[in-house]
Structure 1
């Protein structure tokens, strides 16, 4: 019986997925986070790099690979709240339907500040939605990275990724992962590689993922060059962006994940992680 994978192939997982060679008996489809979340929960795929919040919400039926994640310590650059007023003055925020994770994180961060603006589903680029009447827009993924750079760029000899401003063109960009770090001091785990407890992945697939990750991280400049061309962004931007990610679900990432779980889904089932076999 074929083992079915569902991959969310944003640039942030390119170091794992670009060179992944599926072993015999494994097939894969791709989609946006909400599509792959739904496919895994419906049993249409057996494993997926899903939103961490969906893993938390369905911890009764899902288990996560113990050594894979998509986490960051500090800014992520691609999960952004674009806004034209100070956070405490926001009234209407447009939310993308593509990501349950970023919406849950935004809700936690607003609640921690005692804020309760109206949250509405609306799709479109940040500047377009801001000009239509929203004073805040949540954007994720590759498009959010491009829109962030459009607002705060460009890079110059004096302006590096770490010294770019957080505003431009009359818009402020709040990086939700950086906001989480300021709040908690922990990394933020956006995604885990979760599977249905009744359908654990074959060891050959996990080993192939480790091989691909090792190759991708070892050739990060090549990955960045390839994806910079696809995104229409400078290589420096994409290389710094990828270098920020943590792909191994280490102890600090788990601490951040547990704290987020307590804040976002207080009565969740215990989180379950598979046995960590020897690193390949």
Structure 2
């Protein structure tokens, strides 16, 4: 019987899954909201789970202590595209793929003095015809942003955040300005009553080590898949923090506190 692992179908997990090898492992690709459901239902044994989902189900879930998908500063793939200043937003379209990004957006907009009407919508930047802002995540956000660039600057510090009347607010960067901490978008979670075999965790560590060692190759493959410049994807991927180190744990704790939730993780110890 195969052991099922859940991965969202996004470029930022490519360094973790590209070289994953192990006898009896089956990878399930699905959006974070679907993976969260499959994990709780026991359809997958171990999954990259969105932080919001984990924090709201801590009593049922355990964590791998050294895995995360986090950033310190801009993430480039969790973006609010908007036509008005944040404080003036009245109608915002939300991604249907992630509860974490939605929770972070609502927190940031409330602090900016905005309480817009939110609606879950499928689509991309065309939604701006009916909304003041649209929240896009993952590959869709990368493609949308890359499509706005007329040319790739020599340094990522020169990447623009405004395109005429259209502004792009990177939610992870907004979180950093607020807290000076990383933002953790996902963690490896499992049901407490069914921890993963040690061999599965070791296979994940080997895959991550190889993926990070060959990041240029991973970036070129993902750039070709998405139809964007390889240099943009390379910078995107090297910006991530994949090890849930102490700053990341502090960032996750700060997110829990901002949501009014406890932070009492149960870490895998096998």
Q: Which of 119, 126, 129 is equivalent to 2:127?
A: 129
1:146 to partner: Cα distance: 1.2
Residue matched to 1:236:
231
Q: Is 1:55 aligned to residue 49 of structure 2?
A: no
Question: Is 1:92–1:119's contact at 8 Å kept on the other side of the alignment?
Answer: yes
Question: Is 1:23–1:204's contact at 8 Å kept on the other side of the alignment?
Answer: no
CA offsets per residue over residues 231-252 of structure 1, 9 Å max, x none? 1111110000000000000000
User: Residues 7 and 96 from structure 1, CA distance in 2 versus in 1: closer, same or farther, beyond 3 angstroms?
Assistant: same
Q: Is 1:143 aligned to residue 140 of structure 2?
A: yes
| Structure 1 outlier segments of 4+, above 4 Å | none
Residue matched to 2:206:
211
Give 1:49-198 correspondences, 5 Å limit: 49-126=48-125, 128-131=126-129, 133-157=130-154, 160-198=155-193
Aligned to 2:123, the other structure's residue is in SS state: coil
Residue matched to 2:216:
221
Counterparts of 2:192 and 2:150, CA distance in 1? 45
Structure 1: runs of 5 or more not aligned: none
Q: TM-score, normalised by structure 1?
A: 0.93
CA offsets per residue over residues 7-46 of structure 1, 9 Å max, x none? 213110100101101333x333211111101111122111
Structure 2: runs of 5 or more not aligned: none
Question: Is 1:80–1:174's contact at 8 Å kept on the other side of the alignment?
Answer: yes
Q: Is 1:274 aligned to residue 268 of structure 2?
A: yes
Aligned to 1:248, the other structure's residue is in SS state: coil
Q: TM-score, normalised by structure 2?
A: 0.96
1:114 to partner: Cα distance: 3.0
CA offsets per residue over residues 55-109 of structure 1, 9 Å max, x none? 0000000011000000000000000000000111100000011111100111111
1:2 to partner: Cα distance: 4.1
User: Residues 20 and 163 from structure 1, CA distance in 2 versus in 1: closer, same or farther, beyond 3 angstroms?
Assistant: same
Question: Is 1:129–1:137's contact at 8 Å kept on the other side of the alignment?
Answer: yes
Residue matched to 1:11:
11
Aligned to 1:162, the other structure's residue is in SS state: helix
Question: Is 1:23–1:208's contact at 8 Å kept on the other side of the alignment?
Answer: no
Counterparts of 2:221 and 2:26, CA distance in 1? 24
